[in-house]
């Protein structure tokens, strides 16, 4: 029984004409772990709730296992949802909570006991079956909530920020637990989170959303290495990508990237891999530099160096984060105060005023607040975007 999920130009509009999800096209393969990620209000939970049948679809077609489910009731969709707040019954034991849905379906008692015991073994909570939720830790309660989903043997698992109530250390541990269970069962899973680190570490593919619009859907590595637009570039990565207004130019020595009053020499061979940039010489572009692609400049790095002023240093043990200000112009703001949608893509608000940045450096680097620091940029790892549409200029 296939657990594939297919959104075909699915939209959700409310009575006040607010469009929570706009023409969503998304395919989740059977057995795939897909993550919906984005800031609050981006439409990710609404999309999940439409799969569950908890939100009506305004337009478009939604399929589960090839079957159109637009008008199918919640109980007939054969999906199981794990909520943020666990939604356990406090007066029931763990075993009763896990098996409750089966009891409602009038599954024979022995079969319920078998499925509950099997789910508890998979989740490592067999010893807690006789206890009540108040006697359990947050991580144990989360396992109980997952057990309740597992015993139903659904076509699809739906998870709505299931780890957000756990402390940081337990969240990291539970990420691995959730993935191990999903891999063992092989059930297609749609997982919602606002935490991009969680999305990148868990998803086979990740769908990045903003303002109800799907921005990019790709494996985590592709999102990181080849963001489709400025929004994805600024959202994916921790710390986020540094984004600046810049100008492409040429002088006698070759191509240059002008950032404020500073110039970075570009490798001509690198530009050959990015033919779209040919039309941007003498024009503005948005350039992105990831914090890990900056390093302390050596004496002979003059052609690829940014001079920055250190504002804050955060020591993390294995590395330090250097927050700095840089002489870099801010991209021009479109007319009006509200964020605009250009060609259907939101212009990233971050780059309009940003003249600050972050570098991720080794822990042995000695640097203090107020220092003037020379940072070498790995120009082979730069990202370029059109300043009007926000789209990447990476492709041919």
The whole-number pLDDT of residue 301 equals: 67
Q: Rounded to two decimals, what is the model's pTM?
A: 0.86
- The tens digit of pLDDT for each residue in 195-237 reads 999 999 999 999 999 999 999 999 999 999 999 999 999 999 9
The whole-number pLDDT of residue 367 equals: 95
- The tens digit of pLDDT for each residue in 135-180 reads 998 888 888 988 988 898 899 999 999 888 888 888 888 898 889 8
Q: Which residues pair with 8 in a beta bridge?
A: 61
Quickly count helices (H) and strands (E) in the chain: 10, 22
**Tokens, residue 306:** 């940014």
Domains of the chain: residue spans and CATH: 5-231 (3.40.50.300), 239-385 (2.40.50.140)
Nearest to 287 by CA among 266, 310, 272: 266
36, 192 Cβ separation under 8 angstroms: yes
**Tokens, residue 296:** 């302390």
The whole-number pLDDT of residue 329 equals: 55
The whole-number pLDDT of residue 357 equals: 93
The whole-number pLDDT of residue 336 equals: 34
Helix (H) or strand (E) holding 79: strand 79-82
**Where does 160-289 have alpha helices with state H?**
168-185, 196-202, 220-225, 230-235, 268-272
26, 207 Cβ separation under 8 angstroms: yes
* Alpha carbon distances (Å) from 187 to 25, 32, 193, 316, 396: 21, 7, 19, 37, 37
Instruction: Report the alpha-carbon distance of residue 346 to residue 337 in Å, rounded.
Output: 14
Considering only CA atoms, give the Rg of the chain.
25
Instruction: Pick out the chain residues at pLDDT < 50.
Output: 331-354, 396
Instruction: Report the alpha-carbon distance of residue 263 to residue 266 in Å, rounded.
Output: 9
């Amino acid at each position: 029984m296939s657990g594939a999920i297919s959104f075909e130009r699915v939209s959700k509009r409310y009575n006040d004409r607010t469009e929570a999800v706009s023409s969503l096209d998304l395919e989740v393969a059977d057995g795939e772990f897909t993550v919906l990620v984005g800031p609050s209000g981006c439409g990710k939970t609404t999309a999940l709730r439409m799969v569950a049948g908890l939100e009506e679809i305004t337009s478009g077609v939604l399929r589960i296992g090839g079957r159109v489910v637009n008008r199918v009731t919640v109980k007939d969709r054969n999906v199981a949802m794990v909520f943020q707040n666990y939604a356990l019954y406090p007066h029931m034991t763990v075993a009763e909570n896990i098996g409750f849905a089966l009891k409602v379906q009038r599954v024979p008692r022995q079969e319920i006991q078998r499925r509950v015991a099997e789910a508890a073994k998979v989740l490592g909570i067999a010893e807690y079956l006789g206890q009540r939720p108040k006697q359990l830790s947050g991580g144990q309660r989360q396992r109980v909530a997952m057990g309740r989903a597992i015993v139903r043997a659904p076509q699809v698992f739906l998870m709505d920020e299931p780890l957000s109530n756990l402390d940081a250390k337990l969240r990291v541990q539970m990420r691995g637990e959730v993935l191990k269970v999903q891999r063992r069962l092989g059930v297609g899973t749609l997982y919602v989170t606002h935490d991009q680190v969680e999305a990148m570490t868990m998803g086979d593919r990740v769908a990045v959303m903003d303002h109800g619009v799907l921005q990019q859907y790709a494996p985590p590595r592709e999102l990181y290495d080849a963001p489709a637009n400025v929004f994805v570039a600024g959202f994916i990565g921790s710390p986020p990508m540094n984004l600046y207004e810049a100008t492409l130019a040429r002088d006698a020595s070759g191509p240059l990237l002008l950032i404020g009053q500073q110039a970075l020499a570009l490798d001509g061979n690198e530009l050959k891999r990015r033919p779209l940039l040919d039309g941007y010489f003498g024009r503005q572009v948005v350039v992105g530099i990831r914090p890990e692609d900056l390093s302390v400049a050596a004496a002979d790095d003059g052609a690829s160096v940014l001079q920055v002023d250190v504002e804050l240093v955060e020591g993390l043990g294995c590395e330090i984060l250097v927050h700095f200000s840089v002489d870099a112009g801010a991209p021009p703001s479109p007319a009006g105060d509200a964020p605009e949608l250009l060609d259907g893509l939101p212009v990233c608000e971050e780059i309009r005023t940003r003249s600050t940045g972050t570098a991720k450096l080794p822990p042995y680097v000695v640097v203090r607040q107020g220092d003037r620091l020379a940072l070498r940029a790995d120009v082979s790892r730069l990202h370029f975007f059109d300043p009007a549409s926000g789209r990447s200029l990476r492709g041919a």
